[in-house]
């Protein structure tokens, strides 16, 4: 029997919206526990044996891509640390220096990490969050933007960072250790350690108490 994958994906998305706990209730089907028999497979994908990756997550490498001075190295990696989890419909898109998730990190449903991005340990990323380490060039009006290329500085996120849902983190940003990004925040500049940020663009709300 041939399965209509497009229709199936649509149904699963609708189920997820109507019942966010659906995949939790089907824990055994939700994750592939250590789905990779080797520590390094699928090119440069490295997954710790204790990590959990949903079979509905998407992991993508962009090899050989070069536009606007942004070379994509064939040596790029995606590294997923110990006890980290990638939820259903989450997206990892590697280019440049790749993506590194430390230990005990969680990427929830419909969130995306793209570009050269490094996470410390214990980072929590809420649903529908976008961490995008690249920008389109638009220096001239004589050439369509999509033909002007892409630049990338990379994004660094420290350990023990909590990122709420629907957060956007733009290229070149460093998020300091122990910080909190409120839901809906758009981060365009560096975040000091142990700072609670919110707003569009993000502004300090207060420091975390010790």
Looking up residue 138, the CATH number of its domain turns out to be 2.160.10.10
List the domain range (segments joined by +) for residue 126. 31-200
> How wide is the angle at C-alpha 78 spanned by C-alphas 6 and 197, nearest 5°?
90
Is 69 exposed, middle or buried (CB count within 10 Å of its CB: 0-12, 13-18, 19+)?
exposed
Show the DSSP H helices in 26-174 as ranges.
27-30
- Tell me whether residue 18 is in a domain: no
Strands 40-41 and 45-47: antiparallel
Question: How many domains are there within the chain?
Answer: 1
In this structure, is residue 52 part of a structural domain?
Answer: yes
Q: Would 206 be classed as within a structural domain?
A: no
- Look at residue 24 and tell me if it is in a domain: no
Between CA 106 and CA 119 the distance in angstroms is: 10
In degrees, rounded to 5, the angle at the alpha carbon of residue 94 between the alpha carbons of residues 90 and 97 is: 140
Is 173 a domain residue? yes
pTM score: 0.75
Instruction: For the chain, 210 residues long, give each residue's pLDDT as a single digit of tens.
Output: 567 778 877 887 788 778 777 766 654 444 444 444 333 334 577 888 899 888 888 887 765 443 333 444 555 678 899 999 999 889 888 877 789 999 999 999 999 999 899 999 999 999 999 999 988 889 899 999 988 888 889 999 999 999 999 999 999 999 999 999 999 999 999 999 999 999 999 999 999 876
CA distances from 130 to 2, 24, 46, 89, 186 (A): 33, 22, 22, 13, 10
Residue 100 within a domain:
yes
Distance CA 176, CA 156 (A): 8
């Amino acid at each position: 029997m041939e399965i209509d994958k497009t229709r199936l994906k649509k149904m699963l998305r609708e189920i997820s919206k109507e019942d966010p706990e659906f995949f939790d209730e089907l824990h055994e089907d939700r994750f592939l526990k250590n789905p990779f028999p080797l520590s390094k497979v699928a090119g440069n994908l490295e997954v710790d044996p204790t990590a959990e990756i949903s079979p509905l997550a998407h992991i993508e490498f962009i090899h050989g891509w070069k536009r606007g001075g942004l070379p994509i190295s064939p040596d790029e990696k995606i590294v997923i640390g110990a006890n980290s989890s990638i939820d259903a419909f989450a997206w990892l898109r590697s280019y440049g220096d790749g993506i590194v998730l430390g230990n005990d990190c969680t990427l929830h449903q419909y969130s995306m990490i793209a570009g050269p991005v490094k996470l410390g340990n214990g980072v929590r990323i809420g649903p529908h969050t976008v961490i995008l380490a690249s920008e389109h060039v638009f220096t001239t009006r004589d050439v369509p933007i999509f033909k002007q290329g892409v630049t990338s500085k990379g994004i660094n996120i420290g350990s023990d960072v909590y990122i709420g849902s629907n957060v956007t983190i733009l290229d070149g940003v460093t998020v300091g250790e122990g910080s909190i990004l409120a839901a809906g925040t758009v981060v365009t500049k560096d975040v000091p350690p142990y700072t609670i940020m919110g707003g569009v663009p993000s502004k300090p709300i207060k420091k975390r108490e010790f």
